[in-house]
Structure 1
Amino acid sequence: MKLRRWIARLNLAATLALVGALFILVNFLASRRYSRLDVTRNHLATLSEKTVQVLTHLTEPVSIVVFYQRSASLHGMVTDLLKEYERHTSRLTIEYVDPLQDRARAEQLAKQFEIDRLNLLIVQAGSRHKYLSDTDLAEYDYAAVGFGEAPTVKTFKGEDALTSAILSVTQAHQSLVWITRGHGEKTTEQDVGGIDELQKAFERENMQVESVALLEKPEIPQEVNVVVMPGPTRRVMEQELAALQSYLDRGGRLLALIDPLQETGLDDFLSRWGVELGHDMVVDPARQLPFVSAANVFVTTYTRHPVVEHMETLMTLFPLARSVQPAKETGGLTVTQLALTSEQGWGETTTQDTTFTFAEGTDRKGPVSLAVAVERTTPPPVRLVVIGDSDFVTN
């Protein structure tokens, strides 16, 4: 009974981690067109000139739902900020909903907007809407989390995030996401092992999702905001790699989920972007589920990066993963490890065996990285996220 309860808690935590990870991941790979505005000021009561200009030039109604517990740390700051916004436009409608106090309305909103977490702002104009989470609205200090205390707000950046969201939903242009097919990738049509949740995460951010075979496209247009490669099992052709390279050179975004034991032809391509794919399988006896292979790893160690900023107390289950490391030569790119095994983990290179033993000098010693984020800040800016597993985002 205790084991069953432990596994149930682990599954719940893994689900929460997935929801949070997808939310932040999508924002990290968000549209270049609506990049965040630098409007943060020292005095919260005074809006920037840019925000006032956006509000006074609104041509359609905008509604904001404050889906927050009144006890949440940001509730007061958000309320004060929205009062200032209301002073500058009559086209703004604001509704405050405490999910714990008004359960009927909360359930209605959860169904309408597919809300799966607390403490959000929902910004809507017409059929377009965008979510803002705590980590969009503030930077947090997590120093005390390890001692059982809640993170504290370090910097409130609500005006920056909210004005950008209003711009996003009031523009006719809809961000476009391409999910690749033709190499055995996971699809949204699969009942088991599909990627519906990943597609929903993009759609919640007002992004249009299309399934595309890159071989049928001579180039990836700049209107495509993110390209997703969800678990290819066959080689990507040189023509397709050239299209991806050109797209990224022009400031594209790529999410690559690359499983172990697959020859995808992406090794050299990703190496040019500062990423090394391990020819191994990540094993961690200290982070495995009971009675299953040590290659079924759950991760509780994350670095400081926006993609995993909210996940310090959560765990993510990677049923089968390869190592993904910063390459030795990154060419001026910023490559950040995101999720790590414990020190007892390693990258097992003898992948045909069903039992695993660390081989000094052959296997990669832990902690082992399973995911990295790549950023190029010089114009045009580029962002990639490469994860050594695709199963963790499946239905």
Structure 2
Amino acid sequence: MEYGFWLNLFLIAAGLTVGFISERWDIIPFTLIVIGVVLTIAWLLWQSKRTNLWARRSAQSSTNAILATTAVVVILSLINFLGARYSIRQDLTENQLFTLAPQSKELVRSLKSPVKVWIFDITQNAREKELLVNYQRQSSKFKFEYVDTQAKPSLVKKFGVDNNVRAFLESGKRQVKIVDFNEPLTEIKLTNCLQKLISTDVLTIYFLKGHSEDILDSIDSNMSKAVEALAEMNLIAKPLTFTNKSLVPDDAAVVIVGGDSQDLFPNEIKLLQAYLKRGGNLLLMFNPRTAQNLDPLLSEWGVSIDPRLVVDISGSAILGPAVSLVNNYGQHPITKNFGNKTSFYQFARPINTKTVEGVQSNPFLLTKPYPHSWAESDLNSEILRFNEKTDRKGPLALGIALKRKIVGKTDNSGYEASYSNTLSPVLPITSHVHATNTKSTNRESRLVVIGNSNFASNSWFQKALNGDVFLNSVTWLSQRDFQPLSIRPKEAKNRRINLSPAQASLLTIFSLVILPLIGIIGAVPVWWQRR
């Protein structure tokens, strides 16, 4: 019985060893630990009764020391456990370089099946590994593994790895290439590939052509960056012309009209109206030269385009008064998580709305209040000054999102469908392909109107949140409500300071000569007083 204490400690140590090594705290390690603890308590009670241990002062002091030490160990263990389970990290970098963007977090947290990143590179880049760990923190379904191509030729054969591809994303039987060997693994690329992997449907986005637009004319078109970004989201962009066509194509998830310098033909407007009546989704982007003759369509939704231009003097020193700086985004899924960050709109026009039964409208782009912005009617004046009689005070709506329930039957022309006069919540859509035969419909039609078209052009698309506004508008219109709408991840900004030789010499002299000399001069009076 005297050596039973060591047996008890052995049982406890064995249980802990089995649990930590196997990483499974099941019945075996639990039983060993419980038996060891129970026998240890029994041994202590037996020893105290046999030797009258607790009557001794030394035993009491030793017991207090043991209890205090045990309490410290338990507290430290709990702190470590809570720190490992509920870690708190604070990113103090300017652009939140070590924090995932909201879209990345929502995508990973919404995973329904396991996803794994395979990196065929034994050199584990610290920055890339930290990025992958951040993704893994969001969901237990996200895993990653570095692979030595020499040690695991079976994986090399499975993925068809060659000298070009370095990383793959896998989910079930689907695989997506992430980056080549000469490319870094960034959040933008990983999030876009993850979104493409979990999206089972490829939607078609049509851009209306035939009115002197700068859209989809070539790979170097005015909106090529926007088209490339759509492709990364499994949204295929195609041109749309109504020549020899009787209606909008059945596979059109969204139709975009923007950048036109000529009015649409009356027949084209009727076809767009029919498209909306059969549950279509339309994005209208206006430039300052024309209203595109869309008043009949817009009036059905209670929308009109103000002929005046928006003047914003808050950023005139840098961009000029013709560029509107927007950081008020209302309450809408398109702009959720935007916070107070900025998007830019050059030569924008205000949008007016009125109440129409059955139409639910939400402004999501609002300019600054007067006197920072207003709608200017006199553009020939050399001095911009608000005119109480002809101008309109801000805040002004530059973007409106509208939806309307569709109830009825539709055929190829779509003219039999009708709008419902009752508002409804967002309805999930299982298919974005419109029916070609007569069928009953019970869905929504969505419309987004933005009083500017060049915000999504190549020169503005990557500035601040401009690209996010365009992509989120298209995503919301496509009724992909199962997909997160938020800010796309951003690349790190280059903050390096480039000094000329003269500036570098001046900095060296200032730091090695002038500053030490100032310290010496300041120390002389102190030394003189204490002398």
TM interval, short-chain normalised: 0.5 to 0.7
Who is 2:323 aligned against? Answer: 296
Give the aligned residue type for 2:393.
K
Give the aligned residue type for 1:386.
V
298-307 vs 314-323, greater mean Cα deviation: 298-307
| SS of equivalent residue, structure 1 residue 381 | strand
Who is 2:286 aligned against? Answer: 258
Q: Distance in 1 between matches of 2:264 and 2:391?
A: 27
- 1:209 equivalenced with 2:280 (yes/no): no
The two structures have a TM-score, normalised by structure 1, of 0.61
Encode CA deviations 1:116-162: one digit per residue, 9 max, x unaligned. x3772633xxxxxx35xxxxxxxxxxxxxxxxxxxxxxxxxxxxxxx
Q: Pairwise mapping of residues 60-71 of structure 1 onto structure 2 (< 5 A)?
A: 65=117, 69=131
- 1:91 equivalenced with 2:172 (yes/no): yes
- Could you list the structure 1 runs, at least 4 aligned residues long, displaced by more than 6 angstroms after superposition: 103-106, 190-193
Who is 1:391 aligned against? Answer: 454
Q: Distance in 2 between matches of 1:330 and 1:192?
A: 41
Q: Distance in 2 between matches of 1:265 and 1:251?
A: 22
| SS of equivalent residue, structure 1 residue 107 | coil
Contact 1:319 1:392 in 2 (8 A): yes
Larger helix share, 1 or 2 = 2
Give the aligned residue type for 2:131.
Q
Who is 2:359 aligned against? Answer: 333
Contact 1:215 1:239 in 2 (8 A): no
Give the aligned residue type for 1:303.
G
Determine which structure has greater relative contact order: mean sequence separation of CA pairs < 8 Å that are 6+ residues apart, divided by chain length.
1
| SS of equivalent residue, structure 1 residue 69 | helix
**Following TM superposition, by how much is the alpha carbon of 1:323 offset from its aligned partner in structure 2, in angstroms?**
0.7
| SS of equivalent residue, structure 1 residue 339 | strand
**Following TM superposition, by how much is the alpha carbon of 1:246 offset from its aligned partner in structure 2, in angstroms?**
0.8
Q: Distance in 2 between matches of 1:252 and 1:323?
A: 24
Q: Distance in 1 between matches of 2:325 and 2:220?
A: 21
Paired residue for 2:383, among 332, 355, 366? 355
Contact 1:65 1:121 in 2 (8 A): no
Paired residue for 1:122, among 178, 193, 201? 193
Contact 1:63 1:94 in 2 (8 A): no
| SS of equivalent residue, structure 1 residue 214 | coil
**Following TM superposition, by how much is the alpha carbon of 1:198 offset from its aligned partner in structure 2, in angstroms?**
1.6
Paired residue for 2:246, among 197, 218, 242? 218
Q: Distance in 2 between matches of 1:64 and 1:261?
A: 50
Who is 1:5 aligned against? Answer: none
192-201 vs 339-348, greater mean Cα deviation: 192-201
Give the aligned residue type for 2:137.
G
- 1:242 equivalenced with 2:270 (yes/no): yes
Give the aligned residue type for 2:250.
Q
Q: Distance in 1 between matches of 2:271 and 2:116?
A: 39
* Change in 2 beyond 3 A, CA 1:121/1:281: closer
Contact 2:323 2:344 in 1 (8 A): yes
Paired residue for 2:334, among 304, 307, 315? 307
| SS of equivalent residue, structure 2 residue 269 | helix
% identical aligned pairs:
26
| SS of equivalent residue, structure 2 residue 131 | coil
Q: Distance in 2 between matches of 1:90 and 1:201?
A: 22
Paired residue for 1:76, among 137, 148, 152? 137
Contact 1:267 1:276 in 2 (8 A): yes
**Following TM superposition, by how much is the alpha carbon of 1:257 offset from its aligned partner in structure 2, in angstroms?**
1.0
Q: Distance in 1 between matches of 2:452 and 2:116?
A: 36
* Change in 2 beyond 3 A, CA 1:305/1:358: same
Structure with max Cα Rg: 2
Q: Distance in 2 between matches of 1:108 and 1:191?
A: 25
* Residues paired across the two proteins, number: 282
Q: Distance in 2 between matches of 1:93 and 1:238?
A: 46
Contact 1:64 1:92 in 2 (8 A): no
**Following TM superposition, by how much is the alpha carbon of 1:376 offset from its aligned partner in structure 2, in angstroms?**
2.4
* Change in 2 beyond 3 A, CA 1:208/1:366: same
**Following TM superposition, by how much is the alpha carbon of 1:239 offset from its aligned partner in structure 2, in angstroms?**
0.5
**Following TM superposition, by how much is the alpha carbon of 1:338 offset from its aligned partner in structure 2, in angstroms?**
1.2
* Change in 2 beyond 3 A, CA 1:222/1:361: farther
277-286 vs 184-193, greater mean Cα deviation: 184-193
**Following TM superposition, by how much is the alpha carbon of 1:261 offset from its aligned partner in structure 2, in angstroms?**
3.1
Give the aligned residue type for 1:333.
V
Consecutive unaligned residues of structure 2, counting only runs of 5 or more, are 1-94, 96-100, 119-127, 144-169, 406-423, 425-441, 459-531
The two structures have a TM-score, normalised by structure 2, of 0.47
**Following TM superposition, by how much is the alpha carbon of 1:191 offset from its aligned partner in structure 2, in angstroms?**
8.1
Q: Pairwise mapping of residues 10-29 of structure 1 onto structure 2 (< 5 A)?
A: none
334-343 vs 265-274, greater mean Cα deviation: 265-274
* Change in 2 beyond 3 A, CA 1:363/1:90: closer
Paired residue for 2:400, among 363, 372, 378? 372
Who is 2:225 aligned against? Answer: 197
Paired residue for 2:313, among 279, 285, 292? 285
Q: Distance in 2 between matches of 1:69 and 1:257?
A: 37
**Following TM superposition, by how much is the alpha carbon of 1:194 offset from its aligned partner in structure 2, in angstroms?**
0.3
**Following TM superposition, by how much is the alpha carbon of 1:222 offset from its aligned partner in structure 2, in angstroms?**
2.7
Consecutive unaligned residues of structure 1, counting only runs of 5 or more, are 1-12, 14-19, 25-35, 37-43, 56-61, 84-88, 98-102, 124-129, 132-164
Q: Distance in 1 between matches of 2:324 and 2:248?
A: 35
351-360 vs 232-241, greater mean Cα deviation: 351-360
Give the aligned residue type for 2:457.
T
* Change in 2 beyond 3 A, CA 1:121/1:212: closer
Encode CA deviations 1:163-210: one digit per residue, 9 max, x unaligned. xx63x33x5xx3111111111222233688700112112211212221
Q: Distance in 1 between matches of 2:382 and 2:337?
A: 35
Q: Distance in 1 between matches of 2:212 and 2:363?
A: 27
Contact 2:192 2:233 in 1 (8 A): no
